């Protein structure tokens, strides 16, 4: 989706608000598509947590670092670094690994390869180091993850796990992170505007596709 399609006559704060609204619609749609955890088989529940872990444990810090490298606005990097600081200081990948192991859902090679193509697409997109598009993609991610956490906790419950540190931490702290990332987006757009024909939602669309793959898993017929 280009900026011209989104909001031809909007600029500055109103463009930021319109983008935030569009992200909210995309997140609502993703959350609305989630299955009822109680209706998942144990293998479906295991696979979902395993794919999520295969993607997030080793990539969230990478994604945020790539966005930090891409950002041109001086005030944006401290916002992204605060996020990275918490990830590293509180060892969020350790929390996620514990969460997956407690649910007997640590990813196998097959789980990781089931999301490989869509994960690669997100990595290659971030490698383009586009400040605005990358920041928007991470803002979308933070917005989605806080809404996804109660579901992920319920899926772990299906597998008999009571380990909730990862889901509890990310359901709360990411409310603040989301607001900060949308502030970062406004700052980055002000200093590093993208051209009218550029695809503002390039990374959002790729990440949305990856999220759908995590949730749905491989096509059984494939």
Would you tell me which residues interact with Fe ion (CB under 5 A)? 92
Contact between 178 and 139 under an 8 Å Cβ cutoff? The reply is yes
Between 40 and 147, whose beta carbon lies closer to Fe ion? 147
Residue 112 has which token pair? 């990781």
Which of 95/103 has CB closer to Fe ion?
A: 95
Measured from the CB atom, the residue of 6 and 61 that comes closer to Fe ion is 61
| Closest residue to Fe ion using C-beta atoms | 92
Nearest distance from C-beta of residue 170 to Fe ion, angstroms: 6
**Residue count of the chain:** 222
Work out how close the CB of 39 gets to Fe ion at its nearest, in angstroms, rounded to a whole number.
28
CB-count burial class (<10 Å; 0-12, 13-18, 19+) for 25: exposed
Tell the smallest beta-carbon distance from residue 122 to Fe ion (Å).
17
Smallest gap from Cβ 163 to Fe ion, in A, equals: 15
Helix-strand-coil split of the chain, %, nearest 5:
75, 0, 25
For Fe ion, give the closer residue by CB, 144 or 201: 144
Cβ–Cβ under 8 Å, residues 129 and 71: no
């Amino acid at each position: 989706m280009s900026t011209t399609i989104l909001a031809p006559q909007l600029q500055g704060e109103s463009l930021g608000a319109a983008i935030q609204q569009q992200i909210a619609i995309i997140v609502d749609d993703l959350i609305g598509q989630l299955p009822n955890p109680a209706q998942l088989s144990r293998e479906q529940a295991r696979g979902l947590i395993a794919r999520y872990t295969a993607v997030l444990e080793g990539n969230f810090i990478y994604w945020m670092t790539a966005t930090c490298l891409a950002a041109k606005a001086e005030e944006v990097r401290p916002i992204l670094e605060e996020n990275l600081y918490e990830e590293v200081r509180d060892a969020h990948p350790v929390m996620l690994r514990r969460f997956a192991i407690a649910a007997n859902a640590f990813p196998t090679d097959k789980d990781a390869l089931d999301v490989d193509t869509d994960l690669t697409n997100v990595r290659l997109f971030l490698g383009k180091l586009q400040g605005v598009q990358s920041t928007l993609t991470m803002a979308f991610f933070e917005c989605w993850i806080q809404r996804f956490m109660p579901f992920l906790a319920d899926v772990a419950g299906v597998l008999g796990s009571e380990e909730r540190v990862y889901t509890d931490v990310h359901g709360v702290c990411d409310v603040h992170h989301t607001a900060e990332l949308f502030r970062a987006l406004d700052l980055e757009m002000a200093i590093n505007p993208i051209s009218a024909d550029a695809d503002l939602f390039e990374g959002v669309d790729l990440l949305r596709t990856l999220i759908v793959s995590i949730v749905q898993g491989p096509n059984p017929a494939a």
